[in-house]
Amino acid sequence: MIVKYMLRTVMRHHWLLVGVCGWVLLILMFISKFINVSFRIPDGRTEMFVWTMPSVRMKLPSTQQLDKAASQPFIVPSGYSSLVEPKDWQSVIERRLELLSTVCRNSSLWNLTHTTVHRFVLDRIFVCDKHKILFCQTPKVGNTQWKKVLIVLNGKFTKVEIIPENLVHDHERNGLPRLSSLTEAEIHQRLNSYFKFFIVRDPLERLISAFKDKFVKNPRFEPWYKHDIAPAIIRKYRKSHRDDGESVGLRFEDFVRYLGDETGRQHLDRQFGDHIIHWVTYTDLCAPCDISYNVVGHHETLERDAPYILKAAGIADLVSYPNIPPGITHYNRTKVEHYFTGINKRVIRRLFARYQGDFSLFGYPRPDFLLD
């Protein structure tokens, strides 16, 4: 009797368990059907939803992803902009800032040294207190025109067209205070609350522009470049400088050798003083990894960037950016190839090693046509 009772109990529990399992299966089938119906996309695919906790930080990209980001420009050269033309320029600006932030967080991968916000950087940043704007000067990317914009905003002139060219660069008379002229408290207050921007350009084109402007044409008559800086570079980096140094003048190859010399260049840089601002890296000029800029404009897309910056800074109704001559901002690979023709690959690679951070921070493609 006891055995029969135990068997009946076991069987009853067995069928109860089977019944519960059956109900669970029915419920799961119903829920599955409901999900497939409710979250189906019109083309028949089922959307996948992932729950995330708000406090979890985004995972940093892998090294392979960062390598790809550095070798691919976020913005195509303006000559090809008709092929890939974003409708919303805000997204372009955001992608530039995202890339900048990513590379800064992984600076060891890019031969990039952080620059603290010391006096050299503060001397590069111009202030417009009236409209709460900070502009970091990066020479050879059209900075003269942005200075004119700030001069008008500061009330020195009413229009950019009537500002004398010689006044723009006369920092004693142009009405543009530098951030370095303020107290430490005033500096911090402006860095934390003002609209901040600067402009960049393909690093190699910028160096070519600096060489032409300072050592070949010298339109603003700055004799120290030809009479002091050029001879010092020639003496150190040209083997036959005694024969033709004075008659030929500084060659672009001499300039490249000087720029790519990681250790020997430092003594000359101290000797040259602030004149080196025309070819030092963007990192050294504006400390982009230590100052949170609102916009990083590109010389290659200045036709789109200039109006965006004016609007983002809230000054579009007060001043206009000067007219941009057709084609002046387009990247010119032929010109780059011409200037680097005949220069030893090892010398070019040393140059690239110095400016690799500038390429990576701002999405400019590695110049494989020169390096490989």
pLDDT of 207-251, one tens digit each? 999 999 999 998 778 999 999 999 999 999 997 655 554 557 899
pLDDT for the residue 43: 32
Say whether both 37 and 70 belong to one domain.
Answer: no
Say whether both 262 and 352 belong to one domain.
Answer: yes
Secondary structure letter of residue 136 according to DSSP: E
pLDDT for the residue 218: 85
pLDDT band for position 107 (50/70/90)? confident
pLDDT for the residue 156: 84
Q: Are 297 and 198 in contact (CB under 8 A)?
A: yes
pLDDT for the residue 55: 26
On average, the pLDDT of the chain sits at: 79
Phi, psi of 323 (to 5 degrees): -60, 140
pTM: 0.75
Residue 314 placed within a domain: yes
Q: In terms of residue numbers, what domain contains 344?
A: 63-371
Cα 318–chain centre separation: 27
pLDDT band for position 287 (50/70/90)? very high
Residue 237 placed within a domain: yes
pLDDT for the residue 207: 98
Query: How far is the C-alpha of 268 from the C-alpha of 229, rounded, in Å?
Result: 9
Residue 198 placed within a domain: yes
pLDDT for the residue 109: 64
Say whether both 309 and 236 belong to one domain.
Answer: yes
Say whether both 302 and 223 belong to one domain.
Answer: yes
Residue 178 placed within a domain: yes
Residue predicted with more confidence, 304 or 22: 304
pLDDT for the residue 170: 85
Say whether both 31 and 174 belong to one domain.
Answer: no
Residue 55 placed within a domain: no
Say whether both 40 and 68 belong to one domain.
Answer: no
The first and second tokens of residue 119, run together, are 């006096």
Query: How far is the C-alpha of 164 from the C-alpha of 347, rounded, in Å?
Result: 41
Residue whose pair of structure tokens reads 């590109």 in the numeric block: 298
The first and second tokens of residue 184, run together, are 């430490």
Residue 197 placed within a domain: yes
Secondary structure letter of residue 228 according to DSSP: I
Of the listed ranges 73-77, 193-197, 364-368, the one predicted with least confidence: 73-77
Asked if residue 185 has pLDDT above 80, the reply is yes
Say whether both 30 and 138 belong to one domain.
Answer: no
Q: Once rounded to an integer, what is the mean pLDDT over residues 59-80?
A: 38
